[in-house]
């Protein structure tokens, strides 16, 4: 069975990707320090899969542990999710973000080289574009100065991968620039598990609807958009997971030294107020929200040009905003039943 390491594999996108890998005939090996997830997610994951998943509890910055993982498993590739990802927190704790997000990639790359493992799919983000001058944004759109240390770590990691491949290293790498992941597995057994107050829109919406939060604050309706609220490209996490499998398969017949990058979005933008209206439609709940001042660092509008990933990887989003919000709501209801 072709074994693929998933760093941060107990996370939101990591668990959904583990399912996509198993469905495609791979065996996922998870490493996670559970700093931004909970071991309980593995129970839900194994219920969905109907089989156990091998995992290591630990930090990707731990050279010895990573060496052991590669020694104990005949890995044919890796998907690197493990990173600190809270935009706001990164402005308060930049050193934590630079140390963790950069060093964990460097440790992974060094251990891959030591063990002769070439294939890597890297979790990047549309945040590298900043506010694009033209929309939809395509992969050769120049990146802009990041609005946060988190976003800057994604830019620097992309540059590390570019320079590694330019050096002639035997690595075949795809960077995936995610837009805004939402949704959950339709069983409601796994999903986004924000620790503390959610920074992202959709978990805050579902927590408000279920009564955990008193109301949603909409950060600004004075932007240059049709309804004044910010526009994003909300991609269902199940579609996003499938894109990782397609990226691995794309690398199989590439030269030993290869790099490419792809936008992973639906190609459609929706505003915050449209997300609220769509949520109310799919959930039948009326959402308590208040328009307040803009959030510093927010860009106004971004959505993906997806021609390249459709053409080269044969991948296109199958699920839309309604599907994502319906599945996020179902997950929130299941979570509330458990508590």
Distance in Å, CB of 197 to ligand WQD, minimum: 9
Distance in Å, CB of 299 to ligand WQD, minimum: 7
Identify the active-site residue in 150, 178, 234, 250. Answer: 150
Contact 18, 9 (CB under 8 A): yes
CB atoms within 10 A of CB 221: 16
**Which of 288, 193, 280, 178 is closest to 234 using CA atoms?**
178
Contact 128, 155 (CB under 8 A): yes
Contact 198, 212 (CB under 8 A): no
Q: Where are the alpha helices (DSSP H) in 177-271?
A: 201-209, 237-251
State how far the Cα of 45 lies from the Cα of 64, in Å rounded to an integer.
27
Instruction: Record the tokens describing residue 95, joined without a space.
Output: 């050193």
Q: Which is nearer to ligand WQD, 13 or 65 (CB)?
A: 13
Q: Which is nearer to ligand WQD, 171 or 208 (CB)?
A: 208
Q: How far from chain centre, in Å, is Cα 49?
A: 21
Distance in Å, CB of 289 to ligand WQD, minimum: 8
**Which of 51, 49, 41 is closest to 19 using CA atoms?**
49
CB neighbour class for 67 (10 Å; exposed up to 12, middle 13-18, buried from 19):
middle
Q: Which is nearer to ligand WQD, 117 or 276 (CB)?
A: 276
Q: Which is nearer to ligand WQD, 212 or 217 (CB)?
A: 217
**Which residue shows structure tokens 């839309």?**
320
Q: Which is nearer to ligand WQD, 60 or 75 (CB)?
A: 60
Is residue 234 flagged as an active site residue? no
Contact 261, 139 (CB under 8 A): yes
State how far the Cα of 173 lies from the Cα of 261, in Å rounded to an integer.
8
Q: How far is CA 3 from CA 29, 72, 102, 239, 250, in A?
A: 7, 11, 24, 21, 16
Instruction: Record the tokens describing residue 295, joined without a space.
Output: 């959030």
Q: Which is nearer to ligand WQD, 246 or 301 (CB)?
A: 301
Distance in Å, CB of 92 to ligand WQD, minimum: 15
SS3 category, 62? coil
Residue nearest to ligand WQD (CB): 230
Distance in Å, CB of 285 to ligand WQD, minimum: 17
Distance in Å, CB of 230 to ligand WQD, minimum: 3
Contact 82, 5 (CB under 8 A): no
Distance in Å, CB of 250 to ligand WQD, minimum: 23
Q: Which is nearer to ligand WQD, 70 or 179 (CB)?
A: 179
Rule CB under 6 A: which residues touch ligand WQD? 85, 87, 125, 127, 180, 199-201, 204, 216-219, 230, 232, 272, 295, 298
Residues designated catalytic: 150
């Amino acid at each position: 069975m072709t074994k693929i390491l998933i760093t941060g594999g107990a996370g939101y996108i990591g668990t959904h990707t583990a399912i996509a890998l198993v469905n495609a005939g791979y065996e996922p090996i998870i490493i996670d320090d559970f700093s931004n997830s909970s071991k309980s997610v593995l129970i839900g994951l194994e219920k969905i899969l109907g089989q156990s998943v091998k995992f290591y509890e630990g930090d990707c910055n731990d050279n010895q542990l990573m060496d052991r993982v590669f020694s104990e498993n005949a890995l044919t590739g890796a998907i690197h999710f493990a990173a600190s990802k809270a935009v706001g927190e990164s402005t308060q704790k930049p050193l934590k973000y630079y140390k963790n997000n950069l060093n964990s990639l460097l440790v992974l790359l060094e251990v891959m080289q030591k063990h002769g493992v070439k294939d890597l799919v890297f979790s990047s983000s549309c945040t590298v574009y900043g506010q694009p001058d033209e929309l939809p944004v395509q992969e050769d759109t120049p990146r802009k100065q990041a609005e946060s240390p988190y976003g800057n770590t994604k830019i620097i990691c992309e540059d590390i991968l570019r320079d590694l491949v330019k050096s002639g290293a035997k690595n075949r790498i795809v960077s995936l620039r995610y837009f805004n992941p939402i949704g959950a597995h339709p069983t409601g057994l796994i999903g986004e598990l924000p620790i503390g107050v959610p920074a992202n829109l959709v978990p805050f919406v579902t927590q408000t609807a279920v009564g955990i939060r008193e109301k949603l604050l909409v950060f600004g309706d004075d932007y240059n958009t049709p309804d004044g609220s910010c526009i994003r490209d909300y991609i269902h996490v199940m579609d996003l997971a499938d894109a990782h499998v397609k990226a691995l398969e794309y690398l199989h017949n590439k030269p030993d030294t290869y790099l490419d990058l792809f936008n992973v979005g639906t190609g459609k933008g929706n505003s915050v107020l449209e997300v609220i209206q769509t949520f109310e439609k799919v959930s039948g709940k009326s959402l308590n929200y208040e328009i307040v001042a803009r959030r510093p660092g927010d860009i106004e509008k971004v959505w993906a040009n997806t021609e390249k990933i459709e053409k080269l990887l044969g991948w296109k989003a199958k699920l839309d905003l309604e599907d994502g919000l319906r599945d996020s709501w179902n997950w929130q209801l299941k979570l509330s039943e458990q508590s």
